[in-house]
Structure 1
Amino acid sequence: MRFSRSDEENEPLISLQSKGPCTLSPTSIGYDDDMGGTGRFFESNWARFRQPSPAWIICLYSIYVMVFGILTVPELNSIFVLICHQQYSESENNLKNPIGQSESKGPDLFKELNNCLGNEHAQVQLSQFLLYSEMTSGLLGALSTPILSSLSDRIGRRRILACTAVGPLIKEVLLLFLLWYPDSIDVYWLLVGYAIEGLSGGLIVSISTSQASIADLVPLKDRAKIFGYLQAGLFCTLVLGPIIAGVLLTTFGSFQFIFEVAACSHLLLVLTFSFILPESRQKHSTGSHMADTEQRSGESTIQSIWSSFESIRGSSISRRRNMAVLAFVDFVVFGIYLGISPLQLAYPGYLFHWTPTIQSVVMALTSSWSVLVLIVIFPTAMMLVRRCDRQASGIPLLKFGEMGAIKFCLMLQVLGYIGISLAPTPGAFIISSLVVASSAPISPLLTSCLTAYVSDDQIGQLLGILSFLHAISRIVMPAVMNAIYSRTVGIFPAPLFIVLAIFQGVSLLATMGVKADVV
């Protein structure tokens, strides 16, 4: 009787791979379950780790804005003390020491700050410098924002996010040279850094590109919630940033060290965005999409913006009116948000002689309250409103809940700015600042309401228009605020906050005309 070999018997005991000298496969030595399973486990987890996810965007965006949160107080005070040192210092060596000498890295500007806090002339020049910097960065940002937003659709989101970190990196390096050699380089050279930051897109493009990345990955019904997480990440970093800045300033007693850390952080972000962040923008192969992409890629900046406006103009008159009102409110809110931070620090510094450490503590306190409102109080209130809507008449949340919350936030800002303008003591100033901080949910609310008026394929166009309006707002609102502050700081600095209360009062009246039944 003849026995035939099975296929398993014909297999060799030790299998040699054809490629490479004497390479053993994992299965040949009996480790298929252990070695192979472990390898597949790591490959599977690495593949999951490299998958595009909103968590990537939220984490990296939080780190990105964390650096801005850390630098808010040190950047304002370092520019202020540079102006005071170069323009009003009694030293005879200002702007005359050669850069090559090691001793030119003095004087200790951090110690000079206390002598400058009450200098109203330096306060005026600081306000004017902030005005020039915002106009320089804002004008160039208004030109670059539509281009970068359009490029993100063609070359991917992560490359644009990397670009937004390059500008701040260059600005911080320039500021470091100014702090190292304050008697050799004029402070107005820093405007070059603000110009480069504007061309790179900066914070505005990072926000819009992060939102576009989330829109790539998240369905419409979940976008408002994820946008809220993005905003919560911003406010969390505004809590930790000033605390970290205060600790570093107290420990090292130097502005230079903080900007060295910030420059290294932005360099790491550039590398992370470029080579590690998974790309959320997937390439589509449909002919219509490719034709539309090629057509839009040949458009100029103005044509691209106009095309976006034309696509949204297809809505009804009521919808366009609602969107125009909400966009106007967003324009005012965003501009005030960008322009008020340095002035809200300079004002109590002049009025109450607050040091950078105290400024950091107060800023961390108000930001902590914003996080609490955004993460705990606001979602709980909206859940109760939603429940009441369902139990009562079933009216959608957008009709009363979100619009009502926007109006309430605007009312809080009106009351808070009036309180700041009338605050006679530091305690009253802090309480009024907390009232303003209670309006933190207004930005995600506005974004959520605006995206409810357009279809899924117009979300990116809408965000591009909002980014362009944000870039314009970055020029107009800080220019108005700095002009008012610089003209009144030596006489009566409170009119700035009275004007802000009037702005938000006008916005509140404008929202009264929004009809939610056209959504």
Structure 2
Amino acid sequence: MGRAGAPSIDDATTWRKRASDSATEVDATETTALLSPDNEGGSTGGSGKKADRWDGLDDFVDTPWWRKPSVYWLLVPYFIFTLAFGGALVPKLNLILSFICKEHFNQSDSDPPALPVFIGGENPQCKIPEVQSKVATFTLIMNFLTGLLSAIVVPIFGSLSDRYGRTRLMALASCGGVLAEIITLLAAKYPDVINYRWLILGSVFDGMTGSFTAGSLLTQSYTSDCTPPSKRAVSIGYLHACLFTGLAFGPLLAGYFVKWTGSLLSVFYVIVACHILFIFFVGLVIPESLSKRRRSVAQEIWAKGWQDRAQSFVPWVSRVKGANPLAPLKVLWPTGPGTSARLRLNLVSLAVSDMIILGSSVAVGPVIILYSEYRFGWGTLEASIFVSAVSLTRTVILLIIFPAVNYFGRVRPAQRRRALGIVSHETNSGADSLDVWVIRVATAGEVLACIGYSLAQNGHAFLISGMLAAMGGLGSASIQAAITKHVPSDKVGQVLGAIGMLHALSRVIGPLAFQGLYAATVKTLPQAFLMVLGGLFCVAFTGALLLKPHVHWTTQGEEEEETEQLTPSEEILGANSRHTLPIDEDQVTMR
């Protein structure tokens, strides 16, 4: 645990400079392996050789296992969280459809339909253009409000989590979803008392707590805190696998549950219970990933900066006039000591690529389903098979292929290095070559998938293109892990908050752009939205080509440790070990 007494700002430097006293140490990049439980902190294992060091969990060395943070604490509750989010999509849409359809026929001057409208039931009489248009407009308003408020809240949550911890804010992020589903439940149970337009208030509550975007970004911040750089991309990949599995099977399970119970209301009871379970688990059970000492240091640094800003008094009216709603994005363009133009280019390239990959998955998914049904005559069954196949392919890539790539590209080289008796000290030293190449391959796969979608003449070719697009899951996990390795640990939440803001903005802009484009071109050139999407992925691929490995935001402590400039040969062999064999490492700095 941390030292007793009030920590000072200098503790941040001391914390970063811990090292082993009995062996030569190197600053490891992504080729470093994860610490095993028996070898943490450079202790000897059964073979008598020291393992690679990572000081991220040094404050938790003396704590019991149930108070030690780990990504594995998150997997089950996060999967439940994504199941609840995915399970609510289709039932809520059908509920809104029946509400609006009933109101439409009640207000219409034409004869009422032969069959009455059942709230939440199968209503074929509602499949008319007038009702579909009203439903699309209403859901667009809901998504716009949620996305807009999330874009404001998520950066704030990210910054607060650096100072006060991740778990409590993760629990808070789900509270808005609970309120939104309770309003939906009440509107469905008492439709004559509570008008369906109250669902807009639920969207406001959801957006005020960051919605699904805040929950996802805070879980990634938690993972970055307790996972060494060598395994961070794979760990975030596990979270993405939970995400896509939950989004794929949530609607399926919800549909079967409604069929089994015979009531649409039953699924909303389960969804509310899932949200409450997630809040309870992350708020009271999961150990906090930031120690009290690290939180105190971050709070003191923030307080000092606040005092400096307060000394330069500016009237509040002038502050409001000069307020910039995009100010949280400034962290993606850092200036000052320890930064560089190459760092800024890397961060912007990664942020834009991530926004395109994640934004397209939210905005284009429904349009691709509409296009496939229009182009190939698919029904609900065929479209469901397509979504499930693509989601399962993405899950397999993240759970099996990605860990295998990490093992052969990072763990095995680290094992060979340890066989030479060299102990490495893991630090955030930017994306490594494997990160860069994975991102390039993933974005190239997305470009090829868009070409395949556009040229597909049958459903089988379309399905193959969708499986190729599943490679984008590799890119998203690698990008978000690489972003955290470009910045100091005390700015991870702030940076991921800015990324979350971009996700929220894409959630607002993307559906407007792609759904509007498809509606305007479906009669003349239905593939137009795929061409635009392919162009965006070309931008993401270009950004991946601009990435340079081993670029990071250097802190004061790291600058003091770098006492001499190494030649290219010394970077490989080591300044103090010129007689040793070459190490299979992209970048090594010997102390």
Report the TM-score, using the length of structure 2 for normalisation. 0.67
Per-residue CA deviations over 1:118-170 (Å, capped at 9, x if unaligned) read x4454444443343222211111122112222332344322211111111122
Give the conservation status (yes or no) of the 8 Å contact 1:170–1:196: yes
1:237 aligns with 2:246: yes
The residue number in structure 1 matching 2:3 is none
- % identity of equivalent residues: 28
Larger Rg: 1
The residue number in structure 2 matching 1:79 is 96
Give the conservation status (yes or no) of the 8 Å contact 1:134–1:478: no
* 508 and 48 in structure 1: CA distance in 2 versus 1, 3 angstrom threshold: closer
1:377 aligns with 2:394: no
Alignment equivalent of 1:167, drawn from 169, 172, 176: 176
Per-residue CA deviations over 1:191-228 (Å, capped at 9, x if unaligned) read 22222111111111112211222233233333223222
Secondary structure at the counterpart of residue 399 of structure 2: helix
Q: Which amino acid aligns with 1:305?
A: P
Figure out how many residues of one structure are paired with residues of the other and give that number.
Answer: 459
C-alpha displacement of 1:473: 2.5
Give the conservation status (yes or no) of the 8 Å contact 2:357–2:472: no
The residue number in structure 2 matching 1:146 is 155
Alignment equivalent of 1:53, drawn from 62, 65, 70: 70
Alignment equivalent of 1:343, drawn from 360, 367, 370: 367
The residue number in structure 1 matching 2:328 is 305
Q: Which amino acid aligns with 2:217?
A: S
Q: Which amino acid aligns with 2:386?
A: V
Give the conservation status (yes or no) of the 8 Å contact 2:333–2:347: no
C-alpha displacement of 1:449: 2.5
The residue number in structure 1 matching 2:217 is 208
The residue number in structure 2 matching 1:64 is 81
CA distance, structure 2, for counterparts of residue 65 and residue 348 of structure 1? 25
Per-residue CA deviations over 1:208-250 (Å, capped at 9, x if unaligned) read 2112222332333332232222222223323432431342244
* 82 and 497 in structure 1: CA distance in 2 versus 1, 3 angstrom threshold: farther
CA distance, structure 2, for counterparts of residue 85 and residue 471 of structure 1? 32
The residue number in structure 2 matching 1:483 is 516
1:497 aligns with 2:497: no
CA distance, structure 2, for counterparts of residue 180 and residue 155 of structure 1? 39
Q: Which amino acid aligns with 1:68?
A: F
C-alpha displacement of 1:309: 4.9
CA distance, structure 2, for counterparts of residue 288 and residue 50 of structure 1? 21
Give the conservation status (yes or no) of the 8 Å contact 1:250–1:357: no
Give the conservation status (yes or no) of the 8 Å contact 1:131–1:482: no
CA distance, structure 2, for counterparts of residue 122 and residue 352 of structure 1? 25
CA distance, structure 2, for counterparts of residue 301 and residue 150 of structure 1? 17
The residue number in structure 2 matching 1:447 is 480
Secondary structure at the counterpart of residue 473 of structure 2: coil
CA distance, structure 1, for counterparts of residue 245 and residue 359 of structure 2? 21
Please, which moves more after superposition, 165-174 or 422-431? 422-431
- Where do 1:347-358 residues align within 5 Å? 347-348=371-372
Please, which moves more after superposition, 231-240 or 297-306? 297-306
Once superposed, what is the RMSD of the aligned Cα atoms?
A: 3.9
CA distance, structure 1, for counterparts of residue 111 and residue 252 of structure 2? 33
C-alpha displacement of 1:499: 1.9
CA distance, structure 1, for counterparts of residue 377 and residue 453 of structure 2? 16
C-alpha displacement of 1:304: 7.5
CA distance, structure 2, for counterparts of residue 308 and residue 159 of structure 1? 23
- Where do 1:368-517 residues align within 5 Å? 368-381=392-405, 383=407, 400-423=433-456, 425-488=458-521, 493-516=526-549
CA distance, structure 1, for counterparts of residue 451 and residue 527 of structure 2? 9
C-alpha displacement of 1:413: 1.9
User: Which structure 1 residue ranges, 5 or more long, are not aligned?
Assistant: 1-45, 96-103, 391-395
Which one has the bigger helix percentage?
1
Report the TM-score, using the length of structure 1 for normalisation. 0.75
Per-residue CA deviations over 1:243-296 (Å, capped at 9, x if unaligned) read 313422443454332222112221222233333333333222898644213246
Alignment equivalent of 2:339, drawn from 301, 304, 315: 315
1:110 aligns with 2:127: no
* 346 and 179 in structure 1: CA distance in 2 versus 1, 3 angstrom threshold: farther
C-alpha displacement of 1:369: 1.0
Give the conservation status (yes or no) of the 8 Å contact 2:359–2:503: yes
